[in-house]
């Protein structure tokens, strides 16, 4: 796919206003080409966002940006340290700041944190110039992929690892569904199969 042009002329519309016996063309309105639209990956951790993101970036020749990685760079602390020292609200504020900044750029593969969809403004800015793919997997698959989960702070406090996944997914699923342009099931599928599906959509 070649993305040399910032705007696809084939996607311009020329609206006409009929005024009496005159047809008055309005100024051309450019619509973003599919080439420049960002691909935004959402979903719970362990659903394959990082793996899919790396493959998409390699195949499409795009930059991969992880919101979690950008947060860690900005705060100069790990995510568990940020949450322990500042709290979840501070982390979410940083996340929203990062989402606003990267959403203004073009031709990115954006790997979002699992909770980025909790704030409506994040979804709004990411969808402004992005196609949103929701990567899903079963609770069992997620638990197997991310192991004990001790690399991230607990979201529920006292519940078991699997119970936390179930509860958080139950809370977030309606938000993932509302944000998604496409749903990608990653259970039991190879990365090549996932690429074939995704590249057929974007």
pLDDT in tens, 30-44: 444 556 699 999 999
84 with 163, same domain: the answer is: yes
pLDDT in tens, 79-93: 999 999 999 999 999
Task: Give the pLDDT of residue 27.
Answer: 47
14 with 113, same domain: the answer is: no
22 with 112, same domain: the answer is: no
User: Where residue 161 sits, what CATH number does that domain have?
Assistant: 3.40.50.300
Task: Give the pLDDT of residue 175.
Answer: 97
55 with 145, same domain: the answer is: yes
Q: Answer yes or no: are the C-beta atoms of 182 and 123 closer than 8 Å.
A: no
| Whether pLDDT at 158 is above 80 | no
Q: Report the range of poorest mean pLDDT among 20-29, 91-100, 129-138, 183-192.
A: 20-29
145 with 78, same domain: the answer is: yes
User: Which pairs with CB-CB distance under 8 Å and at least 24 residues apart come from 194-202?
Assistant: 194/48, 194/52, 194/55, 195/52, 195/55, 195/56, 195/59, 198/39, 198/52, 198/56, 198/133, 199/59, 201/131, 201/133, 202/34, 202/37, 202/39, 202/131, 202/133
Give the range of the structural domain holding residue 117, as residue numbers without chain letter.
37-199
83 with 61, same domain: the answer is: yes
What's the number of domains the chain is made of? 2
Task: Give the pLDDT of residue 161.
Answer: 83
Query: Comparing 25 with 183, which gets the higher pLDDT?
Result: 183
27 with 41, same domain: the answer is: no
75 with 126, same domain: the answer is: yes
27 with 44, same domain: the answer is: no
pLDDT in tens, 120-151: 999 999 999 999 999 999 999 999 998 854 55
173 with 75, same domain: the answer is: yes
8 with 103, same domain: the answer is: no
Could you tell me which of 134, 136, 140, 62 has the C-alpha nearest to residue 102?
A: 62
61 with 151, same domain: the answer is: yes
Percent of the chain topping pLDDT 90? 72
3-state helix/strand/coil string of the chain:
CCCCCCECHHHCECCEEEECCEEEECCCECCECCCCCEEEEECCCCCCHHHHHHHHHHHHCCEEEEHHHHHHHHHCCCHHHHHHHHCHHHHHHHHHHHHHHHHCCCCEEEECCCCHHHCHHHHHHHHHCEEEEEEECCHHHHHHHHCCCCCCCCCCCCCCHHHHHHHHHHHHHHHHHHHCCEEEECCCCCHHHHHHHHHCCC
């Amino acid at each position: 796919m070649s993305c040399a042009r910032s705007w696809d002329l084939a996607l311009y519309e020329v609206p006409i206003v009929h005024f009496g016996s005159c047809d008055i063309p309005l100024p051309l309105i450019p619509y973003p080409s599919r080439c420049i639209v960002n691909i935004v990956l959402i979903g719970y951790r362990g659903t394959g966002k990082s793996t899919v993101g790396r493959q998409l970036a390699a195949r499409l020749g795009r930059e991969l940006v992880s919101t979690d990685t950008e947060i860690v760079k900005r705060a100069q602390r790990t995510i568990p340290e940020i949450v322990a020292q500042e709290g979840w609200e501070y982390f979410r504020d940083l996340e929203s700041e990062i989402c606003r900044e990267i959403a203004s750029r073009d031709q990115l593969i954006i790997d979002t944190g699992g909770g980025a969809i909790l704030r409506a403004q994040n979804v709004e800015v990411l969808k402004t110039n992005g196609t949103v793919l929701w990567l899903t997997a079963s609770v069992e698959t997620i638990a197997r992929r991310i192991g004990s989960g001790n690399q991230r702070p607990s979201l529920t406090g006292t519940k078991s690892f699997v119970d936390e996944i179930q509860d958080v997914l139950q809370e977030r699923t309606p938000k993932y569904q509302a944000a998604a342009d496409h749903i990608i099931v990653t259970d039991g599928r190879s990365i090549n199969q996932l690429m074939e599906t995704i590249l057929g959509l974007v």
